[in-house]
Structure 1
C-alpha cells in the first residue's frame, strides 16, 4: 500500500495516479474537508482517508510499511518524521555546516534549521517536467542530480531520493524512511535531506538537552 500526506492539489494528482494503477492507499490530512475528500470518493477505489498529522503518518509507516510515500504537504516530511520519532529539535546553527558545502547560486532560502536548493532557483518550473539533464527553463546543464550534490555537501547526513513515477509526480520509498530511522537512532546530531534531480531541502536536527 501507499500513503499520500496532504489532500490538496498535489495530493489529488497522487491519488489519481494510484487509482489509475490499481493501488491501495491512505490519504492523511488534518482537514477532513480537503480537496481530495471533497472531489474524490477514495474508498470506491481502494483508498481510505485518515484525519491526522505527522504522528499519524509515522504510525502508518511503522505499522503498514508502505511502498511509496507521496509528500505533498508543504513541509520537509522526512525531517518531521525523524524529529517526531526521536523527539528532536531543530538545530539552527547546524545549517551553517550545510551551507559551507552548497554553491550559493542554487540556494533558494536558508534559516530555521533548513536550506532549500534548486537548479531553477529564480523561475517557475514547467508543469509535468521530466527533469532532463538540461533544464528546459534555464537551459543550463545540471552538473549532477541534486541528490548527488547533497550527498557530497553533507557526507555525514542522510539523503532520501525522490523518484519520478511520471513527469511532475514524485514519491519517496517507504523503506528509505525506515532506513533513516535506523540510521538516526543513536545519533545526537542529524542532517537529513530529501531531493530529486532538480530540487532539495536539508534540515539540521539534534537531541534535546
Structure 2
C-alpha cells in the first residue's frame, strides 16, 4: 500500500488516480489543485474512502507541508507548472537572493523539440508527435519506431556546462502514462541548492520529456 501526493487535478491527475488505484486497491491518495471544480471532477466515481482532496496551489502546498518526514511515498507532478522549481522558489529558497536565468544554448541541443517559456525555461522533448497517454517509456518509441537509447533525464545529468551546475529530478514510471519521484529526492534537491553559489539549472525529466529552469544567486552588495 502506497500513499501518493498528486499535484494537479486535470486530465493527468485523474489518470493517475485511476491507474495507480487499479494497480493497488489499498493505495491512498492526496490530490491538490486550486480549482474546486477540477478536484470534484477528478475524484468523481472513484473510491472516495482512499482519496483526500485539498484546494491549494502545488508550490504553496509543498512549501507548507514538505519535510524530511513527509508521509507520502511518491509525488506525482501533473500540475501545469515545473513543480520542483516552484517549490524551490516558494519553499526551500524563499527569502534567499536568487534570480531567474536563461539556460545556456547547449542545453537545447539534447532534444530535437525545444520550446521556451515565459521565464526563459526550456521545454524539451524527443517526440515531435502527440504521445499516447498510456506510454510505458519503452526502449523504442511506440509511435515513431525510433530508439530511445539514452533517457532525456540521463542526457541532461551528463551535460558538462562551464560555470553551471545541473540538478535533475528524475520522474520514474509508476503506471502507464504516470510518473513521479519520492519526497526525499525533492528534499535532497533543496539541500543541494543551499550549497550552490553560482548558476544552477534545475531540470525535471523522464525518458522523453523534460523542463529546465535556470537560477543564479545574486551577488551581495557591500
**Band of TM-score, shorter chain:** 0.7 to 0.9
Q: Give unpaired runs (5+ residues) of structure 1.
A: none
Q: Where do 1:58-207 residues align within 5 Å?
A: 58-62=63-67, 64-85=70-91, 86-87=93-94, 89-93=98-102, 95-96=103-104, 99-103=105-109, 106-111=112-117, 112-120=119-127, 122-153=128-159, 156-188=165-197, 189-207=199-217
SS of alignment partner, residue 37 of structure 2: coil
**In structure 1, how many angstroms separate the alpha carbons of the residues matched to 2:71 and 2:190?**
13
**Cα RMSD after superposing both structures:** 2.3
- Alignment CA distance shift 1:154-1:30 (3 Å): farther
Q: Deviations over 1:68-110 (max 9, x none)?
A: 11111111111111111213655233x12xx214427523212
CA distance in 2 between counterparts of 1:168 and 1:142 reads 16
- 8 Å CA contact 2:99–2:218 kept in 1: the answer is no
- Tell me if structure 2 keeps the 8 A contact 1:191–1:203: yes
CA offset at residue 39 of structure 1? Answer: 5.3
Any idea what SS the aligned residue of 1:64 has?
coil
Q: Counterpart of 1:79 in 2: which secondary structure?
A: helix
Alignment gaps of 5+ in structure 2: none
Supply the distance in 2 between the matched residues of 1:208 and 1:47 (Cα, whole angstroms): 42
Matched residues in 1 for 2:88 and 2:33: separation? 19
Cross-structure match for 1:38: 41
Q: Which moved more, 1:52-61 or 1:171-180?
A: 52-61
Q: Choose which of 24, 29, 32 in structure 1 pairs with 2:28.
A: 24
Q: TM-score, normalised by structure 2?
A: 0.81
Tell whether the 8 Å contact from 1:107 to 1:115 is kept in structure 2 after alignment: no
Task: State the 4+ residue runs in structure 1 displaced beyond 6 angstroms.
Answer: none
Q: How many residues align?
A: 204
